[in-house]
Amino acid sequence: MVSRERVRRAYDDLADVYAAQRAVDGPGMELLGEFVDTLEGPTRILDAGCGQGTPVLERLSESAMAVGLDFSREQLRLAADSVPGGALVQGDMTALPFESDSFDAGVAYWSLIHVPNATQPAVLEAFARVLRPGGRLLVCDGTTDWAGENPDWLDSGIEMSWDIAGAATTRDHLEAAGFAITDAWGVEDTLEADGAGYQRLEPTAVADNDFPWTFFAATLEE
Ligand SMILES: C[S@@+](CC[C@H](N)C(=O)[O-])C[C@H]1O[C@@H](n2cnc3c(N)ncnc32)[C@H](O)[C@@H]1O
């Protein structure tokens, strides 16, 4: 079973390796542009599991008051360079250390997949608490459920582990937490980006898509 403490230490230990291999463009960023375009007015937005801050937190900071949260101190050290003067908080996304109704929007790029499956509903409930009614959320998950480790992730010699609930389960968790799904997309892997593709999906049909990753945009019900 995935251990949050082991994941946190692994992200500390491979911070530079991950940052060097994280593609800074690709379909995840096109979706982020579409998502940001749906936000109105001055926006306070939370990036949970912000990692090294590129490209997601950096992009959000261009148009919003963005707050990056991560439990890895080394990832936050890199994020401080990527987003100088940015608001960064060390904390766990399963218990977001923010007041209720304090954000207009939230995103979680490739971070939910490291949270133990049984705790993932708590992450989405935490988002529902810190977002204002009508707030917007963009999250991604693996399309197919899978749990396991890679003992030498990114040729770093460091073990990384994942607990992927799968798109259908995450859709159900979002709805149970009070979110109405507005959009879904299948997305290629941005660690192997070659201008890779993405495709809009019917939220009811996310489990059938052939892409490895599924993104959801959702609105917190008023
Ligand atoms: C694959 S990286 C993604 C980083 C960034 N969002 C991106 O798109 O490149 C996953 C990040 O989630 C963070 N993370 C994983 N589980 C977390 C948790 N329970 N609370 C806070 N951060 C977490 C890790 O430390 C890591 O920085």
- Cβ–ligand 1 distance for 72 under 6 Å, the answer yes
Q: How confident is the model at residue 193 (pLDDT cuts 50, 70, 90)?
A: low
Reference 36, options 49, 45, 27; nearest CA is: 45
CATH number at residue 136: 3.40.50.150
Q: How confident is the model at residue 23 (pLDDT cuts 50, 70, 90)?
A: confident
Tokens of 148: 């396991």
- Cβ–ligand 1 distance for 117 under 6 Å, the answer no
Nearby residues of 39 by Cβ (< 8 Å), 6 or more positions away: 45, 64, 104, 105, 136
- Whole-number Å distance, alpha carbon 75 to ligand 1 midpoint, is 8
- Whole-number Å distance, alpha carbon 111 to ligand 1 midpoint, is 4
Q: What is the pLDDT of residue 41?
A: 81
* Number of separate domains in the chain: 1
- Whole-number Å distance, alpha carbon 147 to ligand 1 midpoint, is 16
Q: What is the pLDDT of residue 120?
A: 97
Q: What is the pLDDT of residue 192?
A: 61
Q: How confident is the model at residue 196 (pLDDT cuts 50, 70, 90)?
A: low
Owning domain of residue 187: 4-220
Summarize the confidence of residues 153-166 as an average pLDDT.
96
- Whole-number Å distance, alpha carbon 53 to ligand 1 midpoint, is 10
- Is residue 124 helix, strand or coil? helix
Choice between 101 and 23, residue whose per-residue pLDDT is larger: 101
- Is residue 31 helix, strand or coil? helix
Q: Note whether 47 and 57 are within 8 A (CB).
A: yes
* pLDDT tens by residue, 123-134: 999 999 999 999
- Whole-number Å distance, alpha carbon 188 to ligand 1 midpoint, is 18
Q: Whole-angstrom Cα distance, residue 147 to residue 149?
A: 7
Summarize the confidence of residues 114-138 as an average pLDDT.
97
The per-residue DSSP string of 132-201 comes to EEEEEEEEEEESS-EEEEETTGGGSS--EEEEE--HHHHHHHHHHTTEEEEEEEEE--GGG-SS--EEEE
- Cβ–ligand 1 distance for 213 under 6 Å, the answer no
Choice between 42 and 117, residue whose per-residue pLDDT is larger: 117
Q: What is the pLDDT of residue 195?
A: 46
Summarize the confidence of residues 106-119 as an average pLDDT.
97
- Cβ–ligand 1 distance for 114 under 6 Å, the answer yes
Helices first, then strands: H and E counts in the chain: 7, 10
| Mean pLDDT rounded to a whole number for the chain | 93
Query: Best of 11, 158, 160, 190 to mutate for ligand 1, by most ligand atoms within 8 A of CB?
Result: 11
Name the percent of the chain lying above pLDDT 90: 82
Q: Whole-angstrom Cα distance, residue 167 to residue 139?
A: 11
Over its C-alpha atoms, the chain yields an Rg (Å, rounded) of 16
* pLDDT tens by residue, 55-100: 999 999 999 999 999 999 999 999 999 999 989 999 999 999 999 9
Q: What is the dihedral of CA 26, 27, 28, 30, to 10 degrees?
A: 100
Q: Whole-angstrom Cα distance, residue 178 to residue 198?
A: 26
Query: Closest ligand 1 atom, CA of 56?
Result: 8
